[in-house]
């Protein structure tokens, strides 16, 4: 299968401190990959690098024939201005940006799609509500609906099931399986190991650097998890420049 | 019978009798159409104080225009526009590419600009308060000035229509826009350019108080009557026009100067909205009425 | 012994010459250009005059610079108009910490009132200008008694010129038909001129350029111009002229030219001295009002 994503010895971080250190590997097209690791392992940072918000400190991330703007990204919700006067319907509607652009009219077809997306996440009836009135879980479902509308080949979900009750989780998981069936590539950062073992065939265990990457059963072993836990979360203020970069890369 | 004549005398006659009143009204309508929507976005992006900052930031441009051509309004306004654009764009670029946020970025640039402006004026040696001369009066609308503000309003509405979607998305969820489009940065810069054009031309035609006031106060009023941005823009434009009209009538009947009169009316409408507005007005909050079934 | 005497003589010569060399000119600071002109005319070679608000400046809304504080600190005499014209001055003098004597040139003038405030533009009447000159002369004599004769002589000559100017103005006004002696200008700067020479001045802005106009004021002026068939409106060198031009367009009154009220112009302008200023004004007025 063709590679959808390629990590070429990539290091991502802030202020020269690496949050993701020397990651190498490939994500096949159509893969369903879970990314797990302790807090501060670099999962969100990696996603920001994939969608193009963060530039790598070293190495590169290749997205195949995909334009970086063809990726659907569901971040953790912090950056959204909830006091902005926009309705759920209009907010979710922005997911159709790639097809409507600046001026496209929101014809009947578009409006139907939006209504359908809202129904798939269980938010029918919420069309006219201002986004500021939604609960955390409803917000998350709204963002899922937007991802649905984006119709992207690569979908990147950052802790998508935080603050969601079990029933909604199950509904949203069904959507994830649907995407996988539609041969889209899905990456999700998750904390719930049970969920990962049950749904995701492939896992990357990340603790700043890659600890293990492969079939879920082989990755989520006790020793791997122990090693990951030993990762130091804080940046070392007195660290020297990374020496590994001077050695010719071992990954051929 | 007599009452209708009185009302006519008070509300309509001033405009039929005097051309300067008609022109002032036209200016107010143009200002409302161009400035009020910009004001709504400014308020939502937490840039409400940018108007005052800009009034000072344009000084070096006006000063250089004055140095080159004396008290020539066209030269000083062009200089002011260039200075305003420079400050706005530099501030915008710095805010997007570094950790510094919009408000701090703008503050630092406008202060530097103001200092530069004062220095330039002092070196030249005259004491004329350049800004005092540059800022005009709504009762003195000549053909050229009216043309400029109408042109402004038209350009603003057109550009705003084009960048409306990306501007809205960028305001509510900037990360999302960055991941789906490259339009975010240009839309933002275009918006800043509109802000500068409206402000500088507003100052030159009408003075700071009116130019900034008719941008920000109507936005504040609209906040209390609508939960949707399109609705807010409409209400802002309407309240700007109403304030302008009522303010001109007030200035006609009393000794209150025209600019402050218009802003005072807008402020009254604002206070009324804070108290009785249907969206988080104080009265509504204190007496919400019986709750609904579902 | 010879040597010692020579040295003594040399010393005496040097010490007697020293006061002559140390006799610098008297440092005087005038608040604005018109006062500066008066001081120069009375003081002549014996004074060195610096003006705070220079040519084409607006003394109502002036904001002083640190350099101005320095000028005041170095001065022996500070000549001001008073009557509320220089609102920014008291604090400047305080902060400059100089030991200059303040002279109010308008001392002895009965001020006209506008509402409850005094109208500061007293110099517009040439008779008042004479009082200004007298006050300045007396102040200079007090500060520099050695030059008293020179000051008195200079003042004599200048007062004679002012008398001639006053006659000129009266003759010119006499040529304007009684019914046409009405003028619109931008701010109420010509009250004293009006009361001294019998021309009526109407202005939208009040006594200071700092105030703003209301629509009612403009409407009144337009109505008055139409009713009284006032032939001309005048601009000023320190205000935005768009308002005047609007009134002119709407009433059909001509723009009669620029009047100089609160400030002289530069060397190349039309009113570099007080006498030039008054002459220019009266010429503009008569030419606009007499056809």
Contact residues, chain C, for B252 at CB < 8 Å: 214-216, 219
Contact residues, chain A, for B231 at CB < 8 Å: 85
- CB-nearest to B228 from A53, A71, A87 is A87
Mean pLDDT of A206-234: 82
| Terminal CA-CA length for chain C | 88
Residue in chain C closest to B261 (alpha carbons) equals C214
pLDDT at C109 over 60: yes
- Cβ-defined contact of B172 to A84 (cutoff 8 Å): yes
Q: Which chains touch A (3 or more CB pairs under 8 A)?
A: B
Contact residues, chain B, for C63 at CB < 8 Å: 127, 129
**pLDDT (tens digit per residue) in C137-195:** 999 999 889 989 999 999 999 999 999 999 999 999 998 888 888 888 777 788 898 88
**DSSP conformation letters of A26-75:** EEETT-EEEEE-STTSSHHHHHHHHHTSS--SEEEEE-TT--GGGEEEE-
CA distance B145 to chain A (A): 33
B243 vs B224: CA distance, rounded Å: 16
- CB-nearest to B171 from A72, A84, A102 is A84
- Cβ-defined contact of B257 to C58 (cutoff 8 Å): no
In the structure, how many helices (H) and strands (E) does chain C have?
10, 10
- CB-nearest to A73 from B163, B165, B179 is B179
B144 touches chain C (CB under 8 A): no
Q: Which of residues 213-272 of B touch C (CB under 8 A)?
A: 248, 251-261
Q: Which chains touch B (3 or more CB pairs under 8 A)?
A: A, C
Residue labelled with tokens 């399986």:
A177
CA distance C109 to chain B (A): 29
Mutual angle of helices B143-172 and B19-44, in 10-degree steps: 20
B121 vs B143: CA distance, rounded Å: 30
Q: How far is CA A70 from CA B92, C174, C194, in A?
A: 26, 87, 79
- Cβ-defined contact of B257 to C246 (cutoff 8 Å): no
Which comes out higher in pLDDT, residue C273 or A101?
Answer: C273
Are C106 and C122 contacting, i.e. CB atoms less than 8 angstroms apart?
yes
Q: What is the pLDDT of residue C239?
A: 63
CA distance B104 to chain C (A): 28
Mean pLDDT of B155-176: 91
Residue in chain B closest to A105 (alpha carbons) equals B165
The DSSP secondary-structure symbol of C214 reads: B
Q: What is the pLDDT of residue C211?
A: 66
Mutual angle of helices C33-43 and C148-174, in 10-degree steps: 130
Contact residues, chain B, for A91 at CB < 8 Å: 172-173
Q: Rounding to the nearest 10 degrees, give the CA dihedral for residues A36, A37, A38, A40.
A: -100
- Cβ-defined contact of B171 to A97 (cutoff 8 Å): no
- Cβ-defined contact of B19 to C56 (cutoff 8 Å): no
Residues 6 or more apart in contact with residue A8 via CB below 8 angstroms = A24, A59, A60, A61, A62
- Sort C224 into a burial class: Cβ within 10 Å, 0-12 / 13-18 / 19+: middle
Mean pLDDT of A51-58: 87
The DSSP secondary-structure symbol of C188 reads: S
Mutual angle of helices B19-44 and B184-223, in 10-degree steps: 110
Q: What is the pLDDT of residue C9?
A: 67
B147 vs B106: CA distance, rounded Å: 30
The DSSP secondary-structure symbol of B141 reads: -
Q: What is the pLDDT of residue B41?
A: 94
A55 touches chain B (CB under 8 A): no
- CB-nearest to C246 from B17, B20, B251 is B20
Least confident of A77-81, B8-12, C266-270: A77-81
Closest alpha carbon to C52 in C26, C76, C79: C79
Are C28 and C76 contacting, i.e. CB atoms less than 8 angstroms apart?
yes
Alpha helices in B98-183 (DSSP H): 102-124, 130-134, 143-172, 174-180
Contact residues, chain C, for B139 at CB < 8 Å: 213, 215, 218, 243, 246
Q: Please, what is the average pLDDT of chain B?
A: 86
Residues 6 or more apart in contact with residue A177 via CB below 8 angstroms = A199
Q: What is the pLDDT of residue C70?
A: 85
- CB-nearest to A86 from B168, B175, B182 is B168
**pLDDT (tens digit per residue) in A140-149:** 889 999 999 9
C54 vs A175: CA distance, rounded Å: 78
- Cβ-defined contact of B142 to C211 (cutoff 8 Å): no
Beta strand extents in A143-242 (DSSP E only): 154-158, 185-189, 202-207, 209-215
Mean pLDDT of B37-51: 89
B165 touches chain A (CB under 8 A): yes
Closest alpha carbon to C111 in C86, C80, C83, C81: C83
Q: What is the pairing mode between strands C200-202 and C113-114? A: unpaired
Q: What is the pLDDT of residue C265?
A: 85
B142 touches chain C (CB under 8 A): yes
Q: What is the pLDDT of residue A249?
A: 40
Mean pLDDT of A73-94: 87
Which of the residues B14, B18, B19, B20 would you substitute to probe the C interface, choosing the one with the greatest number of C C-beta atoms within 10 Å? B20
B183 touches chain A (CB under 8 A): yes
Count CB pairs under 8 A between chains B and C. 95
B186 touches chain A (CB under 8 A): no
Q: What is the pLDDT of residue C271?
A: 86
Q: What is the pLDDT of residue C21?
A: 42
Contact residues, chain C, for B19 at CB < 8 Å: 249-250
B173 touches chain A (CB under 8 A): yes
**pLDDT (tens digit per residue) in C16-31:** 554 444 457 888 999 9
Least confident of B25-29, B202-206, C125-129: B202-206
Mean pLDDT of C87-108: 82
pLDDT band at residue A250 using 50, 70 and 90 as cut-offs: very low
Give the angle B96-B100-B105 at the CA atoms, nearest 5°.
Answer: 85
Helix (H) or strand (E) holding B219: helix B184-223
A16 vs B57: CA distance, rounded Å: 36
Q: Rounding to the nearest 10 degrees, give the CA dihedral for residues A101, A104, A107, A113.
A: -10
**pLDDT (tens digit per residue) in C234-265:** 877 656 678 888 888 888 888 888 888 888 88
- Our answer on whether C and B touch (3+ beta-carbon pairs < 8 Å) is yes
pLDDT band at residue A162 using 50, 70 and 90 as cut-offs: confident
Residue in chain A closest to B232 (alpha carbons) equals A85
Q: What is the pLDDT of residue B283?
A: 84
- Cβ-defined contact of C216 to B254 (cutoff 8 Å): yes
- Cβ-defined contact of B175 to A87 (cutoff 8 Å): no
Strands across the sheet with C26-32, in order? C47-53, C26-32, C77-80, C101-104
Contact residues, chain B, for C187 at CB < 8 Å: none
Q: What is the pLDDT of residue B129?
A: 64
Mutual angle of helices B50-57 and B73-97, in 10-degree steps: 130
pLDDT at C77 over 80: yes
pLDDT more than 90, % of chain C: 23
pLDDT more than 90, % of chain B: 32
Are C139 and C106 contacting, i.e. CB atoms less than 8 angstroms apart?
no
Q: What is the pLDDT of residue A232?
A: 66
**pLDDT (tens digit per residue) in B105-118:** 888 888 888 888 87
**pLDDT (tens digit per residue) in B123-135:** 766 555 666 666 7
Which of the residues A73, A76, A85, A126 would you substitute to probe the B interface, choosing the one with the greatest number of B C-beta atoms within 10 Å? A85
Q: What is the pLDDT of residue B274?
A: 94
Q: What is the pLDDT of residue A252?
A: 38
Which of the residues C57, C115, C214 would you substitute to probe the B interface, choosing the one with the greatest number of B C-beta atoms within 10 Å? C214
CA distance B65 to chain C (A): 16
Contact residues, chain B, for C246 at CB < 8 Å: 20, 23, 139-142
The DSSP secondary-structure symbol of B244 reads: H
Mean pLDDT of A21-47: 88
pLDDT at A235 over 70: no
Mean pLDDT of B44-68: 83
Q: Which of residues 146-175 of A touch B (CB under 8 A)?
A: 146, 150
Phi-psi domain of C182 (left: phi exceeds 0; alpha: psi -120 through 50; beta: other): beta
């Amino acid at each position: 299968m063709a590679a959808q994503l390629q990590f070429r010895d990539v290091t991502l971080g802030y202020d020269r401190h690496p949050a993701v250190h020397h990651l190498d590997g490939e994500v096949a097209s159509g893969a369903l990959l879970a990314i797990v690791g302790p807090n501060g392992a670099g999962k969100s940072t990696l996603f920001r690098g994939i969608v193009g918000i963060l530039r790598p400190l070293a190495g590169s991330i290749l997205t195949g024939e995909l334009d970086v703007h063809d990726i659907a990204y569901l971040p953790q919700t912090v950056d959204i201005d909830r006091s902005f006067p926009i309705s759920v319907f209009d907010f979710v509607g922005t997911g159709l940006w790639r097809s409507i652009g600046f001026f496209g009219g929101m014809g009947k077809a578009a409006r139907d799609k939006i209504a359908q997306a809202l129904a798939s996440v269980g938010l029918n009836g919420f069309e006219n509500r201002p986004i500021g009135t939604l609960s955390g879980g409803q917000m998350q479902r709204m963002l899922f609906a937007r991802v649905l509308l984006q119709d992207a080949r690569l979908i990147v979900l950052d802790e998508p099931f935080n603050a969601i009750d079990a029933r909604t989780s199950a509904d949203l998981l069904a959507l994830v399986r649907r995407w996988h069936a539609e041969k889209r590539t899905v990456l999700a950062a998750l904390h719930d190991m049970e969920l990962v073992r049950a749904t995701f065939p492939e896992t990357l265990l990340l603790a700043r650097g890659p600890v293990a990457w492969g079939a879920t059963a082989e990755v989520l072993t006790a020793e791997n998890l122990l090693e990951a836990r030993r990762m130091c979360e804080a940046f070392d203020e007195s660290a020297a420049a990374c020496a590994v970069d001077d050695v010719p890369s071992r990954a051929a | 019978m007599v009452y209708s004549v009185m009302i006519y005398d008070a509300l309509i006659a001033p405009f039929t009798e005097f051309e300067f009143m008609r022109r002032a009204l036209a200016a107010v309508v143009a200002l409302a159409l161009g400035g009020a929507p910009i004001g709504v976005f400014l308020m939502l992006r937490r840039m409400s104080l940018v108007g005052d900052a800009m009034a000072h930031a344009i000084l070096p441009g006006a000063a250089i225009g004055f140095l080159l051509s004396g008290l020539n309004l066209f030269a000083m306004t062009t200089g002011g526009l260039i200075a305003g654009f420079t400050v706005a764009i530099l501030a915008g670029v710095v805010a997007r590419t570094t950790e510094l946020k919009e408000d701090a970025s703008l503050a630092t640039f406008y202060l530097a600009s103001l200092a530069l402006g004062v220095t330039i004026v002092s070196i030249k040696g005259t004491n004329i308060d350049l800004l005092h001369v540059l800022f005009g009066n709504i009762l003195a609308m000549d053909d050229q000035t009216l043309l400029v503000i109408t042109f402004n309003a038209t350009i603003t509405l057109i550009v705003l229509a084009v960048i409306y979607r990306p501007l809205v998305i960028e305001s509510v969820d900037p990360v999302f826009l960055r991941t789906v489009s490259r339009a975010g940065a240009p839309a933002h810069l275009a918006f800043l350019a509109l802000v500068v054009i409206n402000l500088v031309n507003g100052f030159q035609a009408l003075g700071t108080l009116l130019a900034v006031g008719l941008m920000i106060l109507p936005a504040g009023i609209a906040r209390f009557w609508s939960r949707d941005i399109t609705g807010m823009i409409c209400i802002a434009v309407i309240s700007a026009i109403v304030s302008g009209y009522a303010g001109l009538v007030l200035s006609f009947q009393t000794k209150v100067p025209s600019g402050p009169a218009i802003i005072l009316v807008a402020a009254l409408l604002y206070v009324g909205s804070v108290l009785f507005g249907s969206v988080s007005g104080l009265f509504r909050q204190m007496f919400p009425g019986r709750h609904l079934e579902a | 012994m010879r040597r010692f005497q020579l040295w003594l003589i040399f010393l005496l010569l040097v010490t007697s010459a020293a006061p002559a060399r140390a006799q610098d000119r008297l440092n005087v600071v005038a608040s604005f250009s018109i006062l500066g002109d008066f001081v120069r005319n009375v003081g002549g070679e014996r004074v060195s005059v610096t003006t705070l608000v220079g040519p084409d400046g607006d003394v109502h809304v002036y904001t002083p610079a640190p350099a101005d504080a320095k000028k005041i600190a170095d001065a022996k005499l500070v000549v001001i108009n008073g009557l509320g014209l220089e609102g920014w001055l008291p604090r400047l003098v305080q902060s400059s910490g100089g030991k200059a004597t303040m002279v109010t040139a308008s001392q002895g003038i009965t001020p006209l009132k506008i509402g409850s405030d005094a109208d500061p533009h007293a110099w517009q009447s040439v008779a008042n200008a004479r009082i200004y000159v007298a006050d300045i002369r007396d102040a200079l004599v007090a500060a520099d008694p050695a030059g008293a004769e020179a000051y008195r002589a200079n003042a004599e000559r200048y007062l004679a010129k002012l008398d001639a100017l006053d006659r000129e103005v009266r003759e010119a006004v006499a040529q304007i038909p009684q019914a046409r002696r009405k003028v619109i200008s931008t701010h109420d700067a010509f009250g004293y001129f009006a009361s001294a020479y019998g021309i009526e001045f109407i202005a939208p802005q009040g006594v200071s350029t700092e105030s703003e106009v209301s629509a009612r004021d403009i409407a009144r002026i337009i109505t008055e111009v139409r009713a009284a068939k006032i032939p001309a409106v005048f601009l000023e060198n320190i205000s935005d002229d768009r308002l005047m031009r609007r009134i002119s367009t709407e009433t059909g009154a001509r723009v009669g030219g620029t009047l100089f009220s609160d400030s002289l112009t530069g060397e190349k302008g039309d009113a570099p001295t007080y006498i030039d200023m008054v002459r220019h004004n009266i010429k503009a007025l008569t030419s606009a009002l007499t056809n």
